[in-house]
Structure 1
Amino acid sequence: MTNTNLYLPFEVDFKELEQFPKTIRKNNFFELIYVVDGTGIQVINDNKFQYQKGNLFLITPQDVHSFEITTPTKFFFLRFNEYYIKTNSQNGQSETILRMEYILQNASHRPGCILKNKIDKPLISLLIESIIQELDNQQIYHQKIIEQIVNTIITIVARNIALKLPKNIKESTGEMVLEILHYIQENIYNPKQLKSNAISEHFNISLHYLGKYFKKQTGETLQEYIANYKLRLIEARLLNSDMRINEIADELNFSDESHLNKVFRKHKGMNPSEFRKKSN
């Protein structure tokens, strides 16, 4: 297995391949891979997905991935790191960039196209085509224009991941529920801020309306979503870090390690240590 590093805030690459490098790769950065043309199989963390033209994949840090190419494939690669996200948010280019760190870090680590919002599919295709043209033409300010397009692509990716975080969220979901999801993700380490009355006060809506609205939009109650989101964070740490169980329990504000074990076993049918061993 090869570990690869990124030495620039972001980089783009365009390749036509008949065979993907045989070495299974693990990155220390985010990588968006768009299929301009071609077919084959995406392999990520031992899961497989048949890809085709127009698919967009997100590879998060520490995901193990490769491709099995069936017909010659034109890949567009966009690689960026956490530093790039944070730098852009500090420069005030977009508040959305600020929330991407939470959303991107908690992608599912599963195979498949991440474009769930139908209107975004032709938009992504057009944006990537524009980057390729800018690279070919090399006209004045082309690098700055590419950077702006990259920001837009990452924002669209974050939207598509946010849309599918709760199981029943719809493409037509309103801005308010996405803001509530962002608030929960941002405050997941602060239990007081996750109480229903704190959320209703923050968004200036009644407790009764908040509960009904969130359940209607997502198919889950607030507390169910918070519990499931915590479970995803636990899974991510078990799979992608060397953190001890008691450290994870402390970080996510469980009363102790046994409390975390009890909650995890209830939902997963095994304790965290068993889950970690099974996944390695």
Structure 2
Amino acid sequence: MKRYIQHEDLKLSHFTANEWEHPEHNHNHYELIFIHAGSGRHFLSGFEYPYGPGDIFLLSPCDFHRFGIAERTTFSIIKFHHSYLRSGAPDHVVGTETSRLAEELFLRAHSRQPPLSKPDAARAAQLVTMMTEEKKGPLFFYLLHGLLAVVERNMGEEAAPAGAGDTRIGTVIRYIHDHIADSAALRTGAIAAHAGISASYLGDFFRAHTGVTLRDYIQAYKQRQIEHRIRFSGASLKEIAFAFGFRDQSHFSKYFQQQRGMSPGAYREQLT
């Protein structure tokens, strides 16, 4: 899979397209994508989201995506590294709060992209338009904070991905998130019993509602949680290994190498 590398702390793109020119890819930065006009589908980390004017998407470095444009679409894409939330802040207090808000929202967005209410979609459009005009500086940072605050009040509680009509899928996803470090609790039988679904049917049920297998979802979510802990906590790799149920650091390193193509130590070093 292609990986895009951005060296700048902050970059903003605003463009209109009839076709999406990029292959499925991921990035080394965070992206906040706002749709001003147009329609189509967003293929994001194994999920498929229909999109239209006023939709917003939050992508972390571990996400992969592409767009399928049905109707000529205008995008605004705000790309930033976590370091920007510190270096670009007008003061320490604003920087700390914006960093906390961004970390929480981008972490939660892996299971649910935020649907904006119609009034808040209009507010978000105004904020994003002002950001494209401002481009950088203290006002830009305040506008970003305001946009994240609009997203936060529309997130609600964790729910199933768009298109999932059966409420049991939300139960399954929340259970996985709550027990991600407990391998015994993530056995098919345990998940099925909690959600009131037959163990033999759970796999087909999950894939029908999410588009990915249960095993792949658990593995991807666990990896994201591990990367988030390495990235944002001061815990040692040994502490992180035990927190996620690995019997020792060697087993943890082998697992991370298989998932990421590098050791957890190398992953942490590249962030500094």
Q: How does the TM-score come out when normalised to structure 2?
A: 0.58
**Which position in structure 2 is the counterpart of 1:122?**
122
Q: CA offsets, 1:224-276, max 9 Å, x none? A: x8984452898533368699xx9755135x5x649xxxxxxxxxxxxxx9xx9
The change in CA–CA distance for 1:238 and 1:9 in structure 2 (over 3 A counts) is closer
Equivalent residue in structure 2 for 1:155, among 149, 156, 160: 149
Distance verdict in 2 for CA 1:20–1:13, change over 3 Å: same
Q: Which residue is equivalent to 1:198?
A: none
Q: Give ranges in structure 2 of 5+ residues lacking alignment.
A: 161-170, 182-217, 231-237, 249-254, 260-272
Question: 2:225 aligned with 1:231, yes or no?
Answer: no
Q: 1:73 — aligned with what?
A: 73
Identity between Structure 1 and Structure 2 (%): 17
Q: Tell me the distance in 2 between the aligned counterparts of 1:165 and 1:90.
A: 31
Q: Residue in 1 aligned with 2:252?
A: none
Structure 1 runs, 4 residues or longer, greater than 6 Å off: 240-243
The 1:157/1:47 distance shift into structure 2, 3 A limit, reads same
3-state DSSP of counterpart to 2:76: strand
Check whether the contact 2:19–2:69 (CA below 8 A) recurs between aligned residues: yes
User: Secondary structure at 2:110's aligned position in 1?
Assistant: coil
Which amino acid in structure 2 is aligned with residue 39 of structure 1? S
For the 8 Å contact 1:14–1:75, the answer to whether it is kept is: yes
Deviations 1:147-178 (A, max 9, x none): 321232233334444x33378xxxxxxxxxxx
The one of 242, 254, 259 aligned to 1:250: 242
In structure 2, relative to structure 1, the CA distance for the partners of 1:82 and 1:149 (3 Å cut) is: same
| 2:262 equivalent in structure 1 | none
Q: What is the alpha-carbon distance in structure 1 between the residues aligned to residue 103 and residue 139 of structure 2?
A: 26
CA offset at residue 12 of structure 1?
A: 1.2
Checking the alignment, whether the CA contact within 8 Å between 2:30 and 2:60 is kept in structure 1 is yes
Distance of 1:154 and 1:105 partners within structure 2 = 10
Residue aligning to 2:157:
164
- Contact 1:44-1:109 at 8 Å conserved across structures: no
Give the equivalent residue in structure 2 for 1:200.
none
* 1:8 alignment counterpart: 8
Letter in 2 for 1:132: T
* Inter-partner Cα distance in structure 1 for 2:116 and 2:158: 11
Q: Secondary structure of 2:93's partner?
A: coil
| Amino acid corresponding to residue 68 of structure 1 in structure 2 | G
Q: Which residue of 1 aligns with 2:101?
A: 100
Q: Determine the C-alpha separation between the residues in 1 that align with 2:157 and 2:19.
A: 32
Task: Provide closer, same or farther for how the CA distance between residues 89 and 114 of structure 1 changes in structure 2, counting only shifts above 3 A.
Answer: farther
| Length-normalised TM-score, structure 1 | 0.56
Contact 2:39 2:69 in 1 (8 A): yes
Q: For 2:82 and 2:31, how far apart are their aligned partners in 1? A: 11
Aligned partners of 1:103 and 1:158 also within 8 Å? no
Shift of residue 31 of structure 1? 0.4
1:45 maps to 2:45:
yes
Query: 1:146 offset after TM fit, Å?
Result: 2.5
Unmatched tracts of structure 1, length 5 or more: 136-141, 168-219, 259-272
Query: Is the partner of 1:125 in helix, strand or coil?
Result: helix
* Distance change (3 Å), C-alpha of 1:90 and 1:164: farther
| Secondary structure, counterpart of 2:61 in structure 1 | coil
Deviation at 1:101, TM superposition (A): 4.9
> Does 86-95 or 148-157 show the bigger shift?
86-95
